[in-house]
């Protein structure tokens, strides 16, 4: 496959300890494999510097785990970046996966945000420094984080309130929601302990504290999990068939991707469809606001919302 696809990154490693003895001959046994197609690495150069990683188990005769790293473009279309087949999710395999991903797939100078669950192997791997390569910035998947909180508090309502805290855009809004959650009458001791223990890590799970906006508003690792669902039907196949399927699936995907993009270019679209829809939505919101400037030096201003029945109360104030 690599011979007919120039630029493909692939690493296959045999087991260092296992070997069979058919007919009295020593034969190396497969241990793990990594692969990434050149088209994917090329596309990632034009995507947000955010990837989601996840692992899913195989269900066929030969058990193992499929690791994936997925990115997305400006129109939120998935860009599968890398795959790996390993025995299990552990520290060694995640460290190996991230090392190849960072040294052979991601450009050395590109700082990337990784969104995932809090598997200890991932937590350890993203912290490793590689000389000559930019650091990774790790953020936690909101859905997994709230699920962990649910196990501590046993309340769906409280988990939803924590999700609201995660999604808040501003620190003041976050503080109000978080304090309200702490004072909730149904919050048990386990839930309180969970909240207090993780508050110091709020930059990992709260959008309001996302340093430098590294996660670009992406709050979950759904990118990776959605693609795992695409592969759900092939997890029982032999490993070679799984690898072949990723090639054929991506071939069709990129062809459809090209057709969609060519249509946008033919229509003289200035921005991708999703970006244009977002800008139009924000423009409509801005049409209902007025800003009054009080200071031409610091640009202190007040915003007010307008409605058909007149001027509404003050909506916001601040500096621009």
Residue 89, helix vs strand vs coil:
coil
- For the segment 215-232, the average pLDDT, to the nearest whole number, is 83
How far apart (Å, rounded) are the C-alpha atoms in residues 245 and 37? 13
**Mean of the per-residue pLDDT values of the chain:** 88
Are 66 and 231 spatial neighbours (Cβ–Cβ below 8 Å)?
Answer: yes
Per DSSP, which regions of the chain are E strands? Answer: 9-20, 27-36, 50-57, 65-72, 78-86, 112-116, 136-140, 289-295, 300-307, 310-319
User: How big is the chain by its Cα radius of gyration, in Å?
Assistant: 24
CB atoms within 10 A of CB 150: 17
pLDDT, one tens digit per residue, over 229-284 is 777 778 888 888 999 999 998 899 889 988 988 888 898 888 888 888 888 988 88
pLDDT greater than 60 at residue 315? no
Instruction: Please report the pLDDT score of residue 288 as a whole number.
Output: 76
Question: pTM for this one?
Answer: 0.84
For residue 90, what pLDDT is reported? Answer: 94
Nearest of 28, 31, 27, 29 to residue 12 by alpha carbon: 31
Domain boundaries, the chain: 1-141+220-272, 142-209, 273-319
Residues 174-181: what's their mean pLDDT?
96
Mean pLDDT computed over 152-167: 96
Confidence tier at 99 by pLDDT (50, 70, 90): very high
Share of the chain above pLDDT 70, in %: 93
What is the reported pLDDT for 309? Answer: 38
């Amino acid at each position: 496959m690599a011979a007919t696809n120039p630029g493909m990154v692939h690493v296959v490693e045999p087991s260092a300890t296992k070997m069979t003895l058919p007919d009295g001959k020593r034969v190396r046994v497969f241990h793990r494999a990594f692969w990434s197609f050149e088209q994917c690495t090329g596309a990632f150069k034009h995507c947000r510097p955010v990837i989601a990683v996840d692992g899913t188990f195989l269900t066929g005769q030969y058990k193992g785990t499929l690791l994936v790293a997925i990115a997305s473009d400006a129109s939120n279309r998935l860009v599968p970046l890398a795959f790996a087949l390993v025995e299990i999710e552990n520290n060694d395999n995640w460290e190996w996966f991230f090392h190849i991903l960072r040294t052979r797939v991601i450009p050395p100078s590109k700082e990337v945000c990784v969104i995932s669950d809090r598997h200890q192997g991932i937590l350890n791997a993203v912290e490793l420094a590689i000389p000559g390569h930019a650091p990774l910035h790790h953020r936690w998947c909101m859905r997994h984080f709230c699920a962990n909180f649910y196990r501590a508090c046993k309340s769906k309502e409280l988990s939803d309130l924590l999700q609201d805290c995660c999604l808040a855009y501003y620190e003041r809004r976050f503080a109000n929601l978080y304090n309200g959650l702490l004072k909730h009458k149904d919050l048990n001791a386990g839930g309180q302990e969970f909240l207090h223990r993780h508050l110091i890590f709020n930059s990992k799970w709260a959008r309001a504290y996302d340093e430098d906006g590294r996660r670009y508003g992406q709050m979950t690792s759904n990118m990776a999990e959605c693609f795992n669902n695409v592969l759900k039907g092939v997890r029982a196949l032999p490993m070679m068939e799984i690898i072949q399927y990723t090639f054929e699936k991506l071939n069709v995907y990129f062809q459809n991707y090209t057709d969609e993009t060519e249509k946008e270019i033919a229509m003289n679209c200035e921005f991708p469809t999703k970006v244009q829809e977002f800008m139009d939505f924000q423009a409509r919101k801005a049409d209902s606001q007025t800003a009054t400037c009080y200071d031409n030096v610091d640009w202190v201003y007040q915003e007010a919302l307008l409605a058909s029945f007149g001027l509404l109360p003050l909506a916001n104030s601040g500096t621009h």
